[in-house]
Amino acid sequence: MKSITPSRYHPLQVSLHWLTVLLVFAAFILGKTMSSLPNNDSAKLTPLAIHMSIGILTLLVIVVRFITRMKLPRPAHASTGNVFLDWLGKAVHYALYALVFLMAVSGMSLSLQAGLVPIVFGGSGAPLPADFFDFAARALHGFIAPALLLLVLLHVGAAFYHQLFIKDKLFSRMWYGK
Ligand code: HEM
């Protein structure tokens, strides 16, 4: 059977892309704001519950997205005309998947190490651990966060470079249409 290379991503991939953007952005902002609250403040439990739920949902979305990406037809890699930039573009895409995955997994490891589930979701009434940095996964979670932010900035910068300088209408590939 003849396979045709589409000019844009499948609507499911488009939806999952923008859902990932929304979830990672929300988890990031919430993570940054709640980490400044002291652990003995009971007002920290609600933002923690929302952050953890968003983070777990992000993991599910990214896994489904990666699997469907392999199965669905997708447009050819958008070339810049420069071999190094094209290689970098591909590498950044895989690194984005990897870092979002590691961000969520390190968060879940921290939650297991610190016994957060019964406190945050089970209403156990037990106090939060005095300092999350007593657990190795907290350092990892905090280390991956700025790396992910940097990659996202690179990704967004590259998209604008395509759209505005190469003028290849890259944005339309990640939106709905015929
Ligand atoms: C893609 C998903 C996620 C993103 C983008 C994210 C982002 C962040 C950020 C930016 C911070 C603050 C880091 C810092 O300032 O050093 C943070 C802290 C934290 N995150 Fe996540 N996170 C994600 C997933 C998760 C998951 C799945 C869990 C647990 C199930 C989790 C639990 C925590 C906890 C417990 C903290 C520490 C808060 C504190 O220090 O007071 N995160 N997260």
Q: What is the tens place of the pLDDT at every residue in 28-51?
A: 999 999 999 999 999 999 999 999
Express each pLDDT in 85-142 by its tens digit.
Answer: 999 999 999 999 999 999 999 999 999 999 999 999 999 999 999 999 999 999 999 9
CA of 26 to the centre of ligand 1 (A): 11
Under 8 Å between Cβ of 80 and 88: no
* Element (DSSP H or E) covering residue 83: helix 83-113
Q: Domains in the chain and their CATH numbers?
A: 11-173 (1.20.950)
Nearest CA to ligand 1 atom 34: 107
- The pLDDT of residue 3 is 67
Taking the centre of ligand 1 as the mean of its atom positions, its distance from the CA of residue 118, in whole angstroms, is 17
What the block records as the tokens of 44 is: 């920290």
Cβ–Cβ under 8 Å, residues 23 and 61 = yes
Rounded to the nearest angstrom, the distance between the alpha carbon of 78 and the centre of ligand 1 is: 33
